[in-house]
A = this chain, B = another copy of it.
């Protein structure tokens, strides 16, 4: 792991530059509201719909910023990552837009649907065994063979600056927000949110929402140092990864509080969002609403931005349908 001193902490100028850089490649996603959910929570909720984003998730912001910020010489060698989730899709999409290769190291045991999705966006998959040692070894081989630039899913200043464009748009779209809440896994979206809001709207409170069953960020926040869990199990599968030094920097300095919810509460909030807002969201994105419903006293009477991080769901296996 790199020391924080080896990593550049991005600034708001990087967010502004990122927004210009990625604008041709992303959607300025809409903000939706629901009078039903406002009544239910007693808050005024503004849902920033990154589930409508290119490649189906906010991660395309950071990935595009990394890809389009490369020099032509570096870009020619392509980019690489290890991920089986939205970052892999997003990096593949962005690389495809630039016309460069994107190498993705994935466990051979990953669902075929996920592999197909990555290939659908043009990603080149190299399979590894389902262990950290195999993944690291295979990834090192791929990188050595190709010279591709590694783009970490979140512990990368280019990625965090890209994610910061989401809250920049939200602040342009909604006036007078009192708070913003987003899910937290590795902390890329929350870090981008912290970066932007601490610069342009320092009075806005920042809440992170996390599953009870993968509450390493919550425990890190309370303990004052990173606590990383080994393979937590939760329906919110985008939120299993631990904080790293760069995201910990933002979380520890700018987050107001981290709130958690149970698996049942997450599934209930997910289904409620589908039913009432008529949008398809991942379980991970339901964690903020679950925590708002659980902690009404924190949000009542407030204008709250809720970042819906993605919509890439396996429609054949929904958590509230027993098959």
Cβ of B275 and Cβ of A278 under 8 Å apart?
no
Return the CB mask of A301-322 against B: 1 if under 8 Å, else 0.
0000000000100011010111
Q: How far is the CB of A89 from chain B (nearest CB, A)?
A: 13
Of residues 266 to 292 in A, which have CB atoms within 8 Å of B's CB atoms?
271, 274-275, 277-281
Find chain B residues with CB under 8 A from A32 CB: 52
Q: How far is the CA of A281 from the CA of B323 in the complex (A)?
A: 22
Name A's interface SS: loop
Q: Which of A20-59 contact B (CB under 8 A)?
A: 30, 32, 51-52, 56
CA A320 – CA B271 in complex, angstroms? 17
Q: Are A320 and B311 in contact (CB under 8 A)?
A: no
Q: Can you list 20 A-B contacts (CB < 8 A)?
A: A30-B30, A32-B52, A51-B278, A52-B278, A56-B278, A271-B315, A275-B280, A275-B315, A278-B279, A278-B280, A279-B279, A279-B280, A315-B318, A316-B320, A316-B321, A318-B318, A318-B321, A321-B323, A322-B323, A323-B323
Query: Which residues of A line the B interface, CB within 8 A?
Result: 30, 32, 51-52, 56, 271, 274-275, 277-281, 311, 315-316, 318, 320-323
